[in-house]
Structure 1
């Protein structure tokens, strides 16, 4: 009830990590969802990711700009249909720079252009284990945008997958940016709350759009 009566405030779960609730207005969320649906189509579309140890990620993924596979980048979907990765659009890079400016200030956004998007789709049973975004050669902040169902986002520290960490509720339209001393912090998604997406969005499940600077 409190969340419906009062606006949610900006929080900083760790140094260099900022949560900005409701950053994307509803119309922009719908535009981004339409784009994600196009990107998810084959070739180089939404795929299941398998880890070298034989595990399977429960969140499915599509990449733009550079194709991520555990634990490297390529220009083709080397662990899928082999097609060239879809291009990273300039407007998405501008969205990333605007996100960093709003979260961390203009100086933090004055880096090389964003050129990678990892788009993860979570159904009700999907999870993401604690991990670090450590395969890039750039230390530019990571930008995370949420669409659809609310999730528990667990944001930790750069040293260990275990405590200390903070659980943050990410809803549709929320922005989370992490850079500086938190750029290599462990983070994950232990829970998705099914059926919590805004009805007007027309999405069952959760989409997370993560923007990065490759440095490649």
Structure 2
């Protein structure tokens, strides 16, 4: 139970609580990350404490956006090793969670995590975000889209906002300096049907780590021409 207290503090900070079953799932998840990381490049962070703080607690802090606790369907775009989607799912077990990633090795890892720690109502998608948001079963179907992927806000918005229902939210997990990125991406967000609603500052327990949640509300439908073809958003971000 070495890390129980720090994880419990993080949960309490966002109005949630830790219990032994949730903690056990997180520790199983950590062990699977370390095992798979020897053959698949999942993360450069391999120290137990750093996995707990930089991945797990960082992901838990997304619940600082309190309406997330009421969401019934969430998609995590560019989930990688499952952040923030799997920690969200461990904490909020009743949510329908979709984990999307373009690398099949990571999807294989995620499927093992889902099976080993028994995460119900969790789906993985192997593919590009631009392709699946054009499908009727995914377009504007989720209450919330989340992403911790490394891309600027204009690019991420084009990949994520099309999945969100009108009235729902896209939450972009960003580093400590987001002001310039928000100014540059504000028009793109608007074009895609979104409106920047809040910027929530995040601090990680027992560390100097600071982050931001950029909260975007979906206020109107995304025009049918978006997202553009795979790779276009990164090459020619909306301005």
Q: With structure 1 as the length reference, what TM-score do the two structures score?
A: 0.31
Of structures 1 and 2, the one scoring higher in RCO (CA 8 A, sep 6+) is 1
Between structure 1 and structure 2, the one with the greater Rg is: 2
Q: With structure 2 as the length reference, what TM-score do the two structures score?
A: 0.29
More helix by share: 2
More strand by share: 1
